[in-house]
Structure 1
Amino acid sequence: MRISFRQLSLSCVALTGLVAASAHAQTKKTATGHDRKATASAPAAQNRSSGGDDLSSSVLGQFNRSSEEVSVTSHAVAATGITNRTPGGGLMPPQSAPRSQSGVTRDFIAKQSPSSNITSLIANLPGVTVTSQDPFGTTGDHLQVRGLNETQFGYLFEGAPLADPINYAPYTGTLVDTENLGSVTVSQGAPDLNAPFYNAVGGQITATAINPSHHMGGFADLAGGSYSFNKEFLRFDTGDIGNSGVRGFLSFSHTAYDNGARGPGGFLRYHLDTKFVKEWGDGNDVAAIFSYNRQESTSWRAPTMAQWKQYGVGFSYDQNFYPGNANYYKLNSQNLNQQLIVLPMNFTLTDRLKLHVTPYYVHQFGPSLGGENIPAVGGYYGTQQYGQLSGGTVVNGSILTLGVDPWDQKTGGLNMSADWRITNSNTFSFGWWYAYTTHQELSDFQPVYADGSGWSGTPISVNGHILSGYDLNFMQQVNTLFIADTQRLLNDRLTISAGFRVAMVSRQGTNLIPGADPYKMQGNYFEPLPQFSASYKITPHDQIFINGTTAFRAPESVEAYSQIFDPNSSHATMQPQSLKPEYSISEEIGYRHQGGFYNFSMSLFNINMTNHQVTSTGYIPGTNQMVASPINIGGQTSRGIQGEFGLGRWHHFSPYLSGQFLHSTFDNNFNTGTGVLPTAGKIAVAAPKFTGAIGINYDDGRFFGNFDLRYVDSQYTTFMNDEKMPSYITSNLTLGYRMKAIGPMKHPQIQLNLTNLGDNHYLSGSSYSANAKAHVTSTGQIAAGSPPVYYVGGVFAAMVSLSTGF
C-alpha cells in the first residue's frame, strides 16, 4: 500500500489539532463542572424497535427495552441528540445478542456530515468496507463484509424490510434524513430468525428513526461546502398532543451539490419524514412512519483499470455536446423516487404473551437515463430487424437517443410474531411474514435534438410498438414461518436458543419483446433454515457466545429471469443466469466485555456457501445503462477473526479501534459456458485480507470533535486473480463548537466536517468478472478477458453546518 507523505502528515496534524483544541477547552470549565449535562430537552431518543442498542440473548435478536433506549432526554448535551454515554464516541453501544454485532448511535451519527446515509455511517465497524463515490456520503450503498456485499445483507428500517425486494439494493439515502436517524446496528454473519428476509446470507443491518420529543419544539440545520454543496433541514415536534398519548414530528430537507472534480452534473434531493408514536400501559405502542424521497443525480462513470490509470478521478461524462455524443452528461442520470409507510405495533396481551405486528408499503420508481446511438436503418426490435426509423437526427447512420428505463415497483407486506413466556425461564416464539411485489419495466428510446438541448419525449415506435430492449412484468410472493424456543438456566447466566424458519418464494416474469426466449420464466424456492445459539455470562460484564446459522438468497435482479435486447444486436445482449438459490452455513464463537471503563468484543467465524452468486454490475454492451447480473461461482469458504475496542469518556476523550482478518477462497472451478477456468482455491473477490479503523472522539459540552482513519487492503476483482484493486486509506475530521441557549435557540452549534483528508484518489469498489486477461480453458479454448469496471472514491470536501434546537 502507498500512503503519500501529504496524506500521513495531514492525518497527524488533524489528530494533533484535536488534542490541542481539547487542552484549550479544558481551561474553560462550565459552572457545573467538566461533564456538564444539558437540562434542555433533546428531540432525539433512542428508538425501541428491533435492532436497537440492547438485544436479547436469544436466537431471535429481538429488542428489549432498557432505560437508556426508552428515553435519553435528560442526558442530552446537544439539540442534535448527543448524550456522550456510548463508548467509543458512539461506535460501541452495548450488545448482548449471541452473535457478532456492532452499531452506531446519535453520539457518532450527529458528528458526521449531515448528508451521510446509513451505509456510509457504518464504515468504521469491524469488517465493514463501504464503497463511497461522492465525498458527502449521499450516494452509493455498496459495501462488503466477510467477502459478501450489500445484496447479501438484509436491511431493516423500523422493523420493515425496505431494500429493493428483487435486486436487493438498499437505497438507504431515500429512507431517512441523518438528522432523524437514531441508531444503526450491523449483525455480521447472522440475521434475526424472525427477520423478514430471503437474501440475508451475510447478516443484517438495522436502522431506526429517533422518537418524537414529548415537548413541542424542533430542530433546524443549514449546511454548505465544497462543490456548491447545500442542505437545508427543518423538523417540527408536536410534543404530547393533549391527553391522547400521541406525539410526532414532521421534517423536510433539500440537498444539492455539483460533481466538481468528478466531472459535470450534480445531485438534487427533496426528502420528507414523519413519525408519530402512541404508547400506553405496559409495553403497548404503535408508531406510524411515512417517508417521501425525490432524487436526481448525474450518473458516475465507472472506469476500467486502464481508464483509471489514464484519467484518474477525471473520468466522467462529457461537459460539451456534439452530434452523436452519447456520453454527454445530460443524457446520463439516475432518478430515485420512493414513498414508504411503516406501522410497527407492539401489544402486551397478557403478562406472558406479547404480539408484534408490522404492516408496510413501499413504492420505488425511476427513471434511469442513458445516452445511446441506435441504427437509423436495419436495427433490431428484439430479434426482428426493422427498416427506416422516423424522427431524430441521423449522424453516420445512427440516431442519438436517450435510453429511458422507467422502472416501477410496489411492495406491500405484513410481518407478525408473538412471544409466549411459558415459564419464567422458557420463552416460545412463532411468527409469519407475507409480502407481495409487482415490478414493471418498459425501456424506450427518445430522439435527442440536433443541438443537444433536450429530447423529444416521444418514444420511437416500430410497427406500432414502442422500440424497446426489455418489456418486463415481474411478480413475487413471499411466505415465511418460524418457531423458536429460548431457555434460560443457571440464574439466567446461560441462554440456549434454537429455532427453525421456512421460507417460500414464488416468482414469475414475462418479457414481451419479440423473440424473447423464454417468454416467461418462473422460480419457486422452498428453504428450511435452522438456527442455534448459546451464550454464557461469565460475570455481569463478560459474555461468551456461539451460534450456528443457515440462510439463503433467492437469485438477484429481474435480469436473472429475462433477456436484455438492444437495437444494435440481432440477439440478446444479456442472458438469464443461474436460478439456483444461494445457501450459507455459518458458525461463530465470540467473547465480549461491557461495562466499567471499556467495551471489547472479538469473534472467530466460518462461512460455507453453495451456489454463491457474485454480483457483477456492468454496462449493457454499447450503452451507458448499467445493470446488475448475478454470476454463480459455486462454493466459497470464508474464515477470519474480527474485533473492536472502545473506551468510555476519559478527560472528554472516547477512542475506538476495530479490525478484521479475512481469508476467503473459491471452492470450485468456474464454467464459462465454453470451458472451465481453474478458479478453485483462488482468493475470492471483494475479500480484502485486512481492514481496520481508528477513531477518537472529544466532547466537553462546548468544544467537540471526531477523527477517524480507515484502512482497506487490496482485493481481487476477477475470479482468476489476474486483476486487483489497490489498498487505500482515508481519514475524516469533525470540529465544532456548541453555544449556550440564545433566546429560543437551544444549544446552537457550528460544525466543520472534512472528508478524505489528504485528497487521496482511490478506487473504492468494483464490478467483477471471471478474468481480465485471456486464459486457456479446460477445453483448450481461449477465454477472452473482460476487464471489470470500478467505482471511484470520493475526493476531499469540506462542509460547515449551523444547527439549533428550538
Structure 2
Amino acid sequence: MQMRFLVAASTIAIGSVSLAGTASAQSTGSVDVEEAIVVTGARGEAAVNGIKAPETTKAKAVLTQELVARQNPGKAIFDTINIIPGVNFTSTDPYGAGGGNLRIRGFDGARISATFDGVQVNDSGNYALYTNQQLDSELIEQVNVNFGATDVDSPTASAAGGTVNYRTRLPKEELGAAVNYSRGTFDYNRVFGVIDTGVFTPFGTRAFISASNTTYKQFRGPGELNKAQYNARIYQPLGGGSDFVSLAANYNVNRNNFYRRVGLNDMRTLLGTATIPAAAGITPAAPLDLGKLTDAQQDTVFNFNNDADCSLPSGTGGPGRQSDASSCSNFYNTAINPSNTGNIRFNSRVDLSDKLTATLDASYQYALANGGGTSVFAESDANRSVTGVYNRQGTRIGAGTALGVDINKDGDLNDLVRLYFPSNTNTHRLGATASLRYEMSPENTIRLAYTWDRAKHRQTGEASRLDPFGNPISVFGGRGDEASGVKDAAGNILQKRDRLSYAILHQVAGEYVGKYFDDALTVQLGVRAPFFRRNLTNNCYTIAGSSNDAYCTSESAAVVASKYPAYGAPYAARKVAYSAVLPSAGFVYKFADSMNVFGSFSQGFSAPRTDNLYGFDGVKIQPTTLVQPERTNSFDLGARYTSRVVQAQATGWYISYKNRIISSQVLLDDGSTLNLDRNVGRVRSYGFDGSVAIRPVDFFSIYAFGSYTNAELKDDVLSATGTVLSPTKGKFVAETPKWQVGGRVQVDYDPVSVGAQVKYVGDRFLTDINDVIAPSYTTVDLDARFNLGKVNDKGGIYFQLNVINLFDKFYIGNLSTQPAASNNPQVEIGSPRTVIGSVHFEF
C-alpha cells in the first residue's frame, strides 16, 4: 500500500525546480547563480520526501505546491506563508479575494518587495501589496521568502523588509487537463480548469491555458466578492541543458465589496464609554485592551456592518432642498474595490559558452482599480459650507461661469446630492532584468546585472451619478463614461485629482560566489546600486499636505489665486530622485554531512512613496521637513540540520533601521484632517526564528515553528522646531506580534490523508504610541483528503475537505493603525468557522 508524506514546509523547506535547479530566488539570473551558492555534498540526498533545507547564505523560507494544494483552493499565496516563522498574514476573509495585511519581522507589506516570476507586483505609486490579485494557487510551483534581505538584482524601490517571490509551474510534458470545483460556507463557489498541451513540436515546445471563477458572500454584512482569472504559458527548452525561453500571461478581474471596518469611535458608540473610554482616558500608561470585551460585546462589534439598503432623497427631486448628507454614507454597494489587472512575462536563460550564461526577465503590467467611496456636493457653490458637503468643493461647481449645476435635474440648485467619487488608478508598467554570469573556475563565479523599470501611473478621480438606490452607474465613476459623469458649469467632469506619474528605476548590480576548503565554505559578496526617479505632473491645484485630494477646477488661474491663495498651481514634469549603494555579504559553512552554519549582511532601502510626493508642489508649498528614504542594515546568523528524518533551522537576527516613515494626522482650518509623512527616526529590531520537521515513520509527520520579535522605536516624532508631536520613543512597532508559535501534524495512509495546523499570534498594538491593544489569538485549520483513484494511469480524482478556524474563535484580524487612540484606529474581525469541500479531477 502506498504511503505518502507531506510536512508543512517553513524555513527548512525548499521547492521543486521551476526555472533552474533550486528555483528559490526571484529573477532567472538569481535562480541561475544560486546553483553556485548551494552547498555541494549531500545536496539531493538529505531530504524528507523531497523537502530540503535551502542551503543559501540568507535566511530563507521556501514552500512548494505540495503544501499549497493542501490549503483551501484559491487561497491567497500570502496566506499560505503564514506558517513560516516571523511571518504574520491576516486575511480579510477565509477565501482570500478580500485581500489582507502582511507583516514580516515587523515590516508591513508596502516595505516588503513581492515578485511574481521575477516581476514586481507592489503598486508603483504607494508600494501597496494587493494580495487578492495574485496567481491561482493551483499554478504556483513554489513561494520563497527572504527575511530582511533582497537578491542582488531585486527590481524594487521598497525592500526595506525583505522579499516574497512566487513562481509559476512549468507546462507539463504530456497532454492532460485538471478541473477543481469547490463549494463552501457563505455560498462559496469556485471552479478552476487547466489544459496542458504536452510537447507539441519536435523542439519540445509545451504550454498550458487555465481559467477560474470565484464568487461568495461576505461572512459579515451585505456584499459579495467576485473574481475571474485567466492564465497561459508557453515554454520552449533550448538544447539539452537548462536553457529555455518562456512567455506567460495573467489577467485578473475583481469586483468586491469591502468589509465594514470598526473604528474605536464606533465601538464607543456601540458599547458605551464605560467599555471604550473617551480618547483622553486612553494613554500608553493605561492602554485600552480590546481583549477584555465580553462575548456579548464581541457579538455587537461583529454585527456592526454596512447598510444593506439605500434610498437617496435627491433621487425624487422636486421643489425645495433634497439633502443626501445623512443618507447612504455607509451603503455597502459604494464600498467597493473594482480592479482589472494583468501582465505578460518573458523569462529566458541561454549558455553563451561553457563559462558564460545570459538571462533576461521582461514584463508588461496593466492595472485599473479604485477603492469606491462617495461625497456629497451642493448644487450651488453658495451652499458649499453646509454640514455634510464635501469639504473641498470650493467654487468648482459653478466653475466661475454660473452659480452652480442642477445635478439631479429637478429644476433648482437647492439640493445636496451624493455622488460616486472614487480614486481611479491606471498603470502601464514595463520592466526588464538582464544578467551575465561568468564561471571563472568551478570555485569562482561572478555576475553582473542591470534592471530597468518604468511605471506610467495615471491617477484621476472622476465623479459620477448614483441611481436612486445608491448604486454606481459605473464602477470606475466618470472615467471614460460621459453618460454617468457629473460635469461642472463649464462642461468638465468633476474630479478630486488629475495627475500623471512616471516611477523609473535604473539599477546595476554585481555578485561574486566563491567556494573554499574543498567546497566546505561558500562565500557570497554583492552590491546593488538603484537609481530612482519620479516624474510628477499635477493638472490640479495642490492642497498642502494632501496626497490624495487636490483642487481640480475649470476656474481660471487668476480666480483660483484670488480665492484660494494657499493652493499650489498645477505643474508638469517635476522631478524627485533617490539613489543608494547597497552592499551584501554572506556565507555557508558545512562542517558535517548534515550540518551547516550560515550568516548574511544586507542593506535595504525604501524610497518615499510616489503618491505622498503630491502633498507639496516644491514651489509654493514645501514640506516641513523633506522625507528621507528608509535604510536598513540586516544581519542573520543561523544553523541548519538536515537528514532523512529531521530537518531543522534556527536563526538569530538583528535589523538596524533609520528614517522610518509614518503618517501623522493633522487638523486643517476647515476641520478636516490630512496625513503627513514624517521620518520618526530609528528602529531597532532583533529576534529569533526556529523550525523543525520530523518524520519518525513514513506515514506520520510533525512540524513546529516559533518566532520572537522585538521591534522598538528609538525616537519621538518631532516638529521642525523640536516640539514632540508623537511620543513614540521606546514604543513597540504597531501591528507586530512579539511571539508567534505554531505547527502542523499530518497522517497519510492511502487513500486517506489528514492534516491540522495551528498558529498562535501574540498581542499587537493599534497605535504608534501603544495606547490600544489588539489581543492575542489562536486559530486551528483542518484539511483532509480522500483519494478515489487514477484516471488513465495518470492524474487522479480526490475529494478534499478544508475547515478554517475549526473552533470558531472570535479574533481581531487586520488592523488599520494610527498614531494614537484619538486618531480612531480601526479593525477588521477575523472570519468565523468556514467549511469547504472540493472535488479534483486530473486526467
TM-score (norm 1): 0.84
- Corresponding residue of 1:390: 406
In structure 2, what is the Cα distance between the partners aligned to 1:595 and 1:472?
57
Residue in structure 1 matched with residue 536 of structure 2 by the alignment: 509
Residue 497 in 1 paired to residue 524 in 2? yes
- Structure 2: which 5+ runs fail to align? 7-14, 39-45, 271-299, 313-326, 385-390, 398-402, 474-482, 544-567
Does 2:471 align with 1:438? Answer: no
User: Do 1:182 and 1:209's aligned partners in 2 also have CA atoms closer than 8 Å?
Assistant: yes
Q: 1:333 to 1:423 in 2, by over 3 A?
A: same
Larger CA Rg, structure 1 vs 2: 2
Q: Answer yes or no: is the 8 Å Cα contact 1:93–1:104 preserved in 2.
A: no
For structure 1, which segment, 486-495 or 666-675, has the greater mean C-alpha deviation from structure 2 after superposition?
A: 666-675
Distance between the aligned counterparts of 1:339 and 1:559, measured in 2? 25
Select 1:49's aligned residue among 7, 13, 19.
19
1:601 alignment partner in structure 2: 649
Aligned to 1:639: 686
Give the superposition deviation at 1:672: 5.7
Aligned residues: 727
Q: Which runs of 5+ in 1 are unaligned?
A: 1-29, 38-44, 69-84, 565-570, 773-784
Q: 2:660 matched to 1:660? A: no
Aligned to 1:458: 485
Q: Equivalents in 1 of 2:705, 2:628: separation in Å?
A: 36
Change (3 A) 1:184 1:591: same
- The answer to whether the 8 A contact 2:637-2:652 is kept is yes
SS in 1 for 2:78: helix
SS of the equivalent of 2:789 reads coil
Distance 1:513 1:224, change over 3 A: same
Distance 1:623 1:707, change over 3 A: farther
Q: Distance in 2 between matches of 1:51 and 1:636?
A: 38
**2:716 counterpart residue number:** 669
The two structures have a TM-score, normalised by structure 2, of: 0.80
Describe the superposition over 1:364-422 as per-residue Cα deviations: whole angstroms up to 9, x where unpaired.
Answer: 11143212223333337676454423213899952111113221001101101111111
1:198-597 correspondence to structure 2 within 5 Å: 198-260=157-219, 262-281=220-239, 282-308=241-267, 310=270, 311-323=300-312, 324-378=327-381, 379=384, 384=395, 386=397, 387-392=403-408, 398-452=416-470, 454-455=472-473, 457-514=484-541, 516=543, 517=568, 519-520=570-571, 521-562=574-615, 578-597=626-645
Deviates more, 1:640-649 or 1:223-232: 640-649
1:613 to 661, 665, 681: 661
Cα distance in structure 2, aligned partners of 1:52 and 1:337 = 33
Distance 1:488 1:115 in 2: 42
**Secondary structure of the corresponding residue to residue 496 of structure 2:** coil
Show the counterpart of 2:739: 690
Q: By how many angstroms is 1:753 displaced? A: 0.8
Q: CA distance change for structure 1 residues 797 and 672 in 2, over 3 Å: closer, same or farther?
A: farther
Contact 2:235 2:247 in 1 (8 A): yes
Q: Could you say which residue in structure 2 is the equivalent of 1:704? A: 753
* Alpha carbons of structure 1 residues 96 and 393: separation in structure 2 relative to 1, 3 Å: farther
1:130 aligned to 70, 73, 89, which one?
89
Aligned to 2:297: none
CA deviation vs aligned residue, 1:409-467 (integer Å, no higher than 9, x gap): 01101101111111221111111001111111110222323343554722232533322
With over 3 angstroms needed to count, the CA separation of the structure-2 counterparts of 1:169 and 1:699, relative to structure 1, is farther
Deviations 1:48-92 (A, max 9, x none): 237956569xx96756569x9xxxxxxxxxxxxxxxx975x99x6
1:49 partner amino acid: L
- What is the letter of the counterpart of residue 265 of structure 1? G
Are 1:197 and 2:156 matched, yes or no? yes
- Decide whether the 8 Å contact of 1:614 with 1:768 is kept in 2: no
Deviations 1:740-759 (A, max 9, x none): 12568842011111111122
CA gap 1:716/1:368 in 2 versus in 1, 3 angstroms:
closer
Correspondence 1:793 to 2:796: no
Q: Secondary structure at the match of 2:79?
A: helix
Q: Deviations over 1:623-643 (max 9, x none)?
A: 99x999755322111011111
Runs of 4+ displaced beyond 6 Å: 393-396, 574-577, 615-624, 626-629
Distance 1:705-1:138 versus aligned 2 partners, 3 A rule: farther
What residue in structure 1 maps to residue 816 of structure 2?
Answer: 767
Residue 41 of structure 1 corresponds to none
Residues 299-355 of structure 1 show CA distances to partners (whole Å, capped at 9, x for unaligned) of 122211353574422232210113231211112200121110111101111111111
Distance 1:36 1:498 in 2: 37
Provide the rounded CA distance (Å) in 1 between the counterparts of 2:668 and 2:137.
34
Look up the match of 1:96: 55
Query: Which deviates the most, 735-744 or 484-493?
Result: 735-744
1:782 corresponds to: none
SS of the aligned residue for 2:110 comes to helix
CA distance in 1: counterparts of 2:819 and 2:232, whole angstroms: 46
1:152 positional shift: 1.1
Tell me, in whole angstroms, the C-alpha distance in 2 between the residues paired with 1:451 and 1:768.
33
Aligned AA (1:762): Y
* 3-state DSSP of counterpart to 2:679: strand
Distance in 2 between the 1:397 and 1:576 partners?
40
Q: Secondary structure at the match of 2:186?
A: helix
Query: Structure 2: how far apart are the matches of 1:189 and 1:301?
Result: 33
- Per the TM alignment, residue 118 of structure 1 is displaced from its structure 2 partner at its CA by 1.4
The residue type equivalent to 1:317 in the other structure is: N
Identity %: 21
Q: Distance in 2 between matches of 1:667 and 1:235?
A: 52
Farther-moved stretch of structure 1 (304-313 vs 786-795): 304-313
